[in-house]
Amino acid sequence: MPWYERQFYISSQIHDAQQLLADTIGHWGIENRLHWVRDVTFSEDFPPCCGGNAPVNWAILHNFLITIARFFGFCTIPQAQCALSNQLAQVFSLFV
């Protein structure tokens, strides 16, 4: 007997099954490509104890690094960190 899994979602929007599936896949794509990377690679769930604008500034820098890593085609974010850590000219070349 094949295994089936059923999931339920609550939404205020009226969609057919295909549109709801597309929206769900899109949501989890964002979660897996950005939020999970930020939480695991940069430990954003457990930030250092610092106040003010520091958490927001770190989040901006992390998003910038993720964008740069994907732009240059690195397989992983840590690989990009190692390769680009002393290559500021290459990174800054994107701004001109």
- pLDDT of residue 45 exceeding 80, the answer is no
Q: Pull the structure tokens for residue 40.
A: 């695991």
pLDDT at 4 (0 to 100): 86
Q: What is the pLDDT of residue 49?
A: 67
**Whole-structure pTM value:** 0.62
67 or 32: whose pLDDT is higher? 67
In terms of C-beta density within 10 A (0-12 exposed, 13-18 middle, 19 or more buried), how is residue 41 classed?
Answer: middle
**What percentage of the chain has pLDDT greater than the value 70?**
97
